[in-house]
Amino acid sequence: MKYDVCVFGGCALDQTFFQKVDGSYNDTPDNVSPGGKGANQAVAAAKAGAKTVILTRLGKDDIGRKILDNLNFYQVNTTNVEMVEGLENDYSNIYIKLEDKDNEIQRFSGAINSFTPEMVKQYKEVILKSKIIVCQLKVPKEVTTALINFCYENHKILILTPCRPEKLSITEKENLDLIDKISIITCNRKECSTIFNTDDIEACVQKYPNKLIVTLGSEGLMYYNGKRIVKMPAIETEVIDTTGAGDTLNGNLSAFLAKGMDLEHALRKAMYASAMKLSQSTAQAGMPYLEDLENFIQRKRNKNFAYSEELNYALGIIKDAYDSVKYTTTYQINTKADDTLVTDIDLAIEKYLIDKIKEKFPDDHFVTEEYCSENQLGDRSWVIDPIDGTAHFIKDDGLWGIQMAFYDQGNTRFSIIYLPDKNEIYYAAENVGAFLNNNKILARTSVPLEQSIVEFGGSIYKQMPIKKMVLDRLIKKEHLVVSNVLHINSCCVSYANLVSQKTDALVISTTRPWDVMPGEFLCKMCNIPVYYLDPNKKVRLITSSDAIKDVIFPK
């Protein structure tokens, strides 16, 4: 079996005490629940949607069984958990301060001290079949050393949380070699100072690009990406209990990296997860599931947006609209007056969206492809294309989507493109930015002309003479000057390809609002320029590539 995340570490029973107004604590804990850094990180990764396995040892008693049952409840794979007779389980007394909700922890170690280097050999197949390995420094150092060396020798990504930072201190020269072998180290300011024997955090991160990540509490976190120091501000949230916030960060970071996300996006998303945990009591129960995290990110990011209520609502119902029809296996296909195709699914999705929007915003207006195509744009208009690329939908090739834009007081305010088969949702909001699956779409990187791809989107036959002129200019001596030219009869996919850098330029002539408003606003929020190829502004070239622009508009 293959895994996204393998956590190698200990488990514990957390006994939490909340400080009273008079400064004292109860004699008995206010809450008792499974915890421990290894278990916490495994649960966080599993709740974030990663296929997660834990390698650990537990005492075979009621406490051990409770910890094991809890891991199974959160769908962490426990096949390799060792239940040992006579072994005492770890537990912690956690004291939550009333004023700042920070915690002081008294740890009592048992099973975690029984880990041995032989466990790395014993479970090597599990480690090798995992994308990301996560460990801490709470086990005996020789065990962590064996794991670091094994992962390094086998080119496995290892994330280490140095909760015993003195074990990794560079005052011991052999630790410099270990640090070099670790893929990512996540630590707080105090742990960083202990490891590197300095308070100069910026100097530390610059020595270890994309490796050393230092959390700074209310100041967020810091790391060096090889070109500049990246400082990510903390996510504003109500703090109830800080227990497990760091483990939430690391579990989510490992989950998102395992899914192929780049470090910057994975870290930012993990920070949102940590912020959610801070607002909940206890460690594991307070960690977010992925769906709740996505909703939290949207609410937080859009909270100062003037149309945040409309945007957040639209992001929910556009997925619901597809869910309402996705199990339909038979449907009718008809031809409209303009010779384009329409199906029962188009009509059902559009009706669903209109009905839902009317429930929430009964006075709003609609400009849509099927029911309301004669309406004119005005204040508070919803522009909807229920299936953009109906021919592709019928072919079941995945090159279709649902899209909408919201228009008010003379401007598009936000837009959404949802590609169900690709599980991609793009959205853009005025003065907020553009996002793909809740990850901010970053500035485009420059691509050489010979590596570029130009796409013709929408109906190929419209304004054909101008498009032929563009194609002729892309051909020199019977060869393309770019890498490739392609055409997709689905505007939303073409715009999505452009902003996600699957293509480098888009030539499009369609002007109907439901076809182009969502995508062109998305491009606008990505700062991708539009150039007009005819005096009537019907054919547009949308590209950030000066090289492509210069070929199509020769001087």
Evaluate whether 520 touches 530 at the Cβ level (below 8 Å): yes
- For every residue of 328-377, which 3-state class applies, written as one string? CCCCCEEECCCCCEEEHHHHHHHHHHHHHHHHHCCCCEEEECCCCCCCCC
Residue 179 backbone phi and psi in degrees, to 5 = -60, -40
Residue 477 identity (one-letter amino acid): K
- Give the integer Cα–Cα distance in Å for 279 and 71: 22
- B/e letters for 241-264, b = 16+ CB within 10 Å, e = fewer, are bbbbbbbbbbbbbbbbbbeebebb
Query: Contacts from 205-208 at CB under 8 Å and sequence distance 24+?
Result: 205/229, 208/179
- What are the contacts of 170-173 at 24+ separation with CB within 8 A? 170/195, 170/196, 170/197, 171/197
Catalytic residue among 90, 247, 408, 515: 247
Report the alpha-carbon distance of residue 382 to residue 29 in Å, rounded.
54
Q: Torsions phi, psi of 87, nearest 5?
A: -90, 130
At 31, which amino acid appears? N
Alpha helix segments (H runs only) across 426-463: none
Q: Are 489 and 389 in contact (CB under 8 A)?
A: yes
247 is catalytic: yes
Q: Could you tell me the two tokens for 360?
A: 């929430």
HSE, side-chain direction, 13 A CA sphere, residue 112 = 25
Cα distance between residue 29 and residue 32, in whole Å: 7
Kindly compute the dihedral angle of the four CA atoms of residues 98, 103, 108, 113, in this order, to the nearest 10 degrees: 170
Residues 6+ apart with CB under 8 A from 505: 452, 453, 454, 455, 498, 541, 542, 543, 545, 548
Q: Residue 505 has which token pair?
A: 């330029």
Quick one: tokens of 28?
């008995």
- Residues marked active site are found at 247
